[in-house]
Structure 1
Amino acid sequence: MSEHLRKLSPGRIVVLGFAFVILTGSLILWLPISANEGVHVNYIDALFTSTSAVCVTGLIAVDTADTFNVFGRTVVALLIQIGGLGVTCVGVGFILLAGKKIGIHGRVLIRDSMNLTTVKGVVALVESILFMTLLFEGIGAFLSFLVFSRDYPALDALGISVFHSVAAFNNSGFDILGGLTNLIPYQDNVLLNLTTCGLIIFGGLGFLVIREVWAKRSWKKLSLHSKVVILTSAVLLAAGTILLKMTEEITWLGALFQSTSARTAGFSTYPIGNFSNAGLFVLTILMFLGASPGSTGGGIKTTTTFVLVKSMFSAATNRHCSAFKRRIPPEVISQAFIITTLALGVVCIQTFLMCLVEPEYDFMKLLFETVSAFGTVGLSTGITPDLNGCAKLILVLTMFIGRLGPLTIATIWSFKPKAGAWYSEETITIG
């Protein structure tokens, strides 16, 4: 078995790893030991919850607190943690804890699963990722406890705080407050709002960026990747806040929170179902663009967005595509357009299927749910629990594709090297 796994491409191993964790989680959540007394969980809802947790989405078919007991909620939190860190990273962490060394095959797997360019220093990177995760989640749990301890007994508040911190840092919009309320009861609590936003932002920046910022502590010394991630994240956050404030009757704090959360976190302090079409459209765009590479978030990523905008501007002005006095390679531009095209294709196909199986719902709501699933966001207009089994399975597949990336899914079927010979070139008229 191990020899067969060694022959698989890294992409296929990662896909199989995520699928195995999802199926295992669904079986555990399906068992009566995971549910509250008197509550029966059908397998479709268990599979949906497990997929949403592992893919760090946050879409829910059943309320987490009202359906699952302490054991079940702990399983959900562990699935979120595994999904956020990545199956490969978690596996390597256990190997390191056991005192064993990581071989070259394992290092290659880490490199490919995290989109790195070299195997050098990958083990140290995993160690720093685990440390950063514990640090941010620990701080988040402490600050959240200051809020929840006012409304819940100390032990319950501690459990809610730890769960909330894990979900927020991993950009997963799960909550265990019950009643499908999410964070609406705390929409005016500044400390919880800012704590959650901080966890989401740092979780969405990507571990490589956080590590580099901490090590260099100078804007000039940062790599092009880190500069692009930070700049694009700030612009999208500010633009989303302003647009949401313009379109909805919400406070500036609420607009900031929803703009942050839409970038793949999925928490809400206002009923999303009450938003106007303009507000839903703004959130849809933010969800589609998503977080940054190497982070716990989804979407087409901030770097892809930046490259698309810069390349189109360069084409319009007949200049080289560059940023921060660095030229962007043509293959990076090509990859950005490929990823965006594949992502749009997935969203269009899945939305069409959703329209077929759930014709009674408005198109905007179905599009919103689909993009939320693809971007591994978790925001919902409130229709997810009422969807039929077929629609839920469509969203399960969408979440899986969104978490792994459409390009990864597309390349698992064939990974043969390019042929050394090619056909003669002939141009095609474009536009």
Structure 2
Amino acid sequence: MKKEKNRWRMTRFSPPQVLSIGFLILTLIGAILLMLPISKHPGVKLTFLDALFEATSAVCVTGLVVTDTATTFTAFGESVLMILIQVGGLGFMTLGILVAMLLGKKIGLSERLLAQNALNQFNLSGIVKLVKIVVIGTLIFEGIGALLLAVVWGQEMSWGKALYYGIFHSISSFNNAGFDLMGNYSSMTAYVGNLPINLILSCLYILGGLGFTVIMDVVQKRNYRKWSLNTKTVIWVTLILNVTASLLIFLLEYSNPSTIDSFSLKDKIISSYFHGTVPRTAGFNTLDLTQLNSDSILLTMGLMFIGGASGSTAGGVKVTTFFLLILVVWTFVKQREDITFLKRRIPQDLVFRALAISLMGIVLVFTATFLLDITEKGIPLMNLAFEAVSAFGTVGLSLGVTPELSAIGKIIIMVLMFIGRLGPITIALALTKELQKNKIRYPEEKILIG
């Protein structure tokens, strides 16, 4: 163990730094592969910046695209995107540990530390077992989703194509990526009233957004009382957000002639449910986002910023962070000393972490929107803000801005996607020295607040 620790120190790279560098290398490799002639249809021109953008979006499981996937890339290019989405969703360290186990190599402390950071776990115990469950569980969920989608699409296309579409969209959906092969940037608008497609895709991205820590806890401890506080919080907050958002979209868009006004009641319910759940953080859309009411757009931005669960394939500040901030406000209003939920006290360091993540997210989105407003003249500010939130939340929804971005605008969005995928805290730790406890405590003095 001591030898392993010394070897880790000799690398001079902390786990957050290794994860950041690993994702960067993976993105560059993906961009190079997408630039190959075999990846593009004949006559299609793709700059390296655009290829880098597509690779970044795939690795960061976002779904924002500067070029139409179906008409730009061949089956080989689409397969590259599929692999990047899979590796980006699982995390390259997860796959690295899996390969090492298959080769019979010992998983050392350094690899376990990396996996712990990648999977956002509190401790090292059981980390290798969790990696196995994540990989096997992912293959099972994606396999079931692919077969179900193939059965549905098999009614309108050849079985070979239907199976290929099923595999691609199942991987894209479970990893909350939002890439599609429908063409012309249409996403899933052709299936707005298709109940099987809507249910299959939504089940996949909701499960992916919950994360295997939660799924494993539910499966292993079938009694609700035995679930961890994290599992209970994630499930309840996710359920409340999904139901509330779906109901609000239904009410806000009910009489909008450009969206669901002319739909049957069944289609109105299906489309409202899909759009209410998809912003956290899948990236598919069955409604034309550019035709939504402004209040629906603001609601969508809020959902994208919140995102899914920690340790999942979803982005955003995470539902637990959002809920913890609500608890902080409630505790202050009630003038209580401890922050509690379900008869459990929340540690103070988690409160600081939640506040840091939220504030950093707000600052990043505001700064990016400000810069985009300078570089992208002629595009409405609301559309740019929507794009920035979508990139930070690794959602992939867009109001048609992405293909129109300038070179600088694309770089800004790429940086946001990268930070959003790894998390602001991970990036901050990667850029700073290892945490050291202060040996000196200074005198306390108050400042005016509020």
Range of TM-score over shorter length: over 0.9
- Residues in 1 aligned to 2:85 and 2:105: alpha-carbon distance in whole angstroms: 26
Q: How does 1:326-337 map to 2 (within 5 A)?
A: 326-337=344-355
Question: Does the 8 Å CA contact 1:264/1:377 hold for their aligned counterparts?
Answer: yes
Provide, for residues 68-98 of structure 1, a one-character-per-residue CA deviation record: whole Å limited to 9, x for no partner.
0000000000000011001111111111122
Question: Does the 8 Å CA contact 1:5/1:13 hold for their aligned counterparts?
Answer: no
Q: Which amino acid aligns with 2:385?
A: L
Give unmatched runs, 5+ long, in structure 2.
Answer: 1-6, 255-259, 261-267
Q: How does 1:238-257 map to 2 (within 5 A)?
A: 238-249=243-254, 250=260, 251-257=268-274
Matched residue, 2:334 = 317
Matched residue, 1:77 = 82
3-state SS, counterpart of residue 315 of structure 1? helix
Matched residue, 1:357 = 375
Matched residue, 1:426 = 445
User: Which shows bigger deviation, 220-229 or 93-102?
Assistant: 93-102
Kindly state the Cα deviation for residue 418 of structure 1 after the two structures are TM-superposed.
2.2
Given the alignment, which residue of 399, 404, 418 partners 1:400? 418
Matched residue, 2:280 = 263
Kindly state the Cα deviation for residue 7 of structure 1 after the two structures are TM-superposed.
2.2
Question: Does the 8 Å CA contact 1:32/1:40 hold for their aligned counterparts?
Answer: no
Kindly state the Cα deviation for residue 359 of structure 1 after the two structures are TM-superposed.
2.1
Provide, for residues 290-309 of structure 1, a one-character-per-residue CA deviation record: whole Å limited to 9, x for no partner.
00000000000000011001
Question: Does the 8 Å CA contact 1:10/1:108 hold for their aligned counterparts?
Answer: yes
Q: How does 1:227-246 map to 2 (within 5 A)?
A: 227-246=232-251
Percent identical across equivalent pairs? Answer: 41
Aligned residues: 430
Given the alignment, which residue of 260, 280, 285 partners 2:297? 280
- Residues in 1 aligned to 2:8 and 2:193: alpha-carbon distance in whole angstroms: 56
- Residues in 2 aligned to 1:64 and 1:150: alpha-carbon distance in whole angstroms: 23
Question: Does the 8 Å CA contact 1:171/1:377 hold for their aligned counterparts?
Answer: yes
Q: Which amino acid aligns with 2:42?
A: E
Question: Does the 8 Å CA contact 1:263/1:289 hold for their aligned counterparts?
Answer: yes
- Residues in 1 aligned to 2:138 and 2:368: alpha-carbon distance in whole angstroms: 33
The answer as to 2:129 corresponding to 1:112 is no
Q: Which amino acid aligns with 1:146?
A: V
The answer as to 2:303 corresponding to 1:298 is no
Kindly state the Cα deviation for residue 239 of structure 1 after the two structures are TM-superposed.
1.1
With over 3 angstroms needed to count, the CA separation of the structure-2 counterparts of 1:357 and 1:71, relative to structure 1, is: same
Question: Does the 8 Å CA contact 1:63/1:178 hold for their aligned counterparts?
Answer: yes
3-state SS, counterpart of residue 125 of structure 2? coil
Q: TM-score, normalised by structure 1?
A: 0.98
3-state SS, counterpart of residue 420 of structure 2? helix
- Residues in 2 aligned to 1:52 and 1:19: alpha-carbon distance in whole angstroms: 12
The answer as to 2:30 corresponding to 1:28 is no
Provide, for residues 253-281 of structure 1, a one-character-per-residue CA deviation record: whole Å limited to 9, x for no partner.
11110111100100000111111111110
Q: How does 1:181-192 map to 2 (within 5 A)?
A: 181-192=186-197
- Residues in 1 aligned to 2:120 and 2:143: alpha-carbon distance in whole angstroms: 27
- Residues in 2 aligned to 1:384 and 1:118: alpha-carbon distance in whole angstroms: 39
Provide, for residues 139-182 of structure 1, a one-character-per-residue CA deviation record: whole Å limited to 9, x for no partner.
10011111111222111111111000000000010001212111
- Residues in 1 aligned to 2:392 and 2:10: alpha-carbon distance in whole angstroms: 28
Kindly state the Cα deviation for residue 39 of structure 1 after the two structures are TM-superposed.
1.0
3-state SS, counterpart of residue 262 of structure 1? coil
Question: Does the 8 Å CA contact 2:375/2:409 hold for their aligned counterparts?
Answer: yes
User: Which shows bigger deviation, 172-181 or 72-81?
Assistant: 172-181
Matched residue, 1:62 = 67
Provide, for residues 302-326 of structure 1, a one-character-per-residue CA deviation record: whole Å limited to 9, x for no partner.
0001100111011111123211111
Question: Does the 8 Å CA contact 2:8/2:110 hold for their aligned counterparts?
Answer: no
Kindly state the Cα deviation for residue 4 of structure 1 after the two structures are TM-superposed.
8.6
3-state SS, counterpart of residue 225 of structure 2? coil
Kindly state the Cα deviation for residue 390 of structure 1 after the two structures are TM-superposed.
1.3
- Residues in 2 aligned to 1:146 and 1:186: alpha-carbon distance in whole angstroms: 15
- Residues in 2 aligned to 1:275 and 1:267: alpha-carbon distance in whole angstroms: 15
Question: Does the 8 Å CA contact 2:34/2:40 hold for their aligned counterparts?
Answer: yes
- Residues in 2 aligned to 1:336 and 1:424: alpha-carbon distance in whole angstroms: 26
- Residues in 1 aligned to 2:302 and 2:243: alpha-carbon distance in whole angstroms: 14
Give unmatched runs, 5+ long, in structure 1.
Answer: none
Q: Which amino acid aligns with 2:297?
A: L
Matched residue, 2:199 = 194
Kindly state the Cα deviation for residue 3 of structure 1 after the two structures are TM-superposed.
7.8
- Residues in 1 aligned to 2:47 and 2:31: alpha-carbon distance in whole angstroms: 10
User: Which shows bigger deviation, 90-99 or 394-403?
Assistant: 90-99
How big is the alpha-carbon RMSD for the aligned residues of Structure 1 and Structure 2?
1.3
- Residues in 2 aligned to 1:4 and 1:164: alpha-carbon distance in whole angstroms: 41
Matched residue, 2:94 = 89
Matched residue, 1:370 = 388
User: Which shows bigger deviation, 348-357 or 409-418?
Assistant: 409-418
The answer as to 2:225 corresponding to 1:220 is yes
Given the alignment, which residue of 4, 12, 17 partners 2:17? 12
Q: Which amino acid aligns with 1:183?
A: M
- Residues in 2 aligned to 1:400 and 1:301: alpha-carbon distance in whole angstroms: 16
Question: Does the 8 Å CA contact 1:350/1:370 hold for their aligned counterparts?
Answer: yes
Q: Which amino acid aligns with 1:286?
A: L
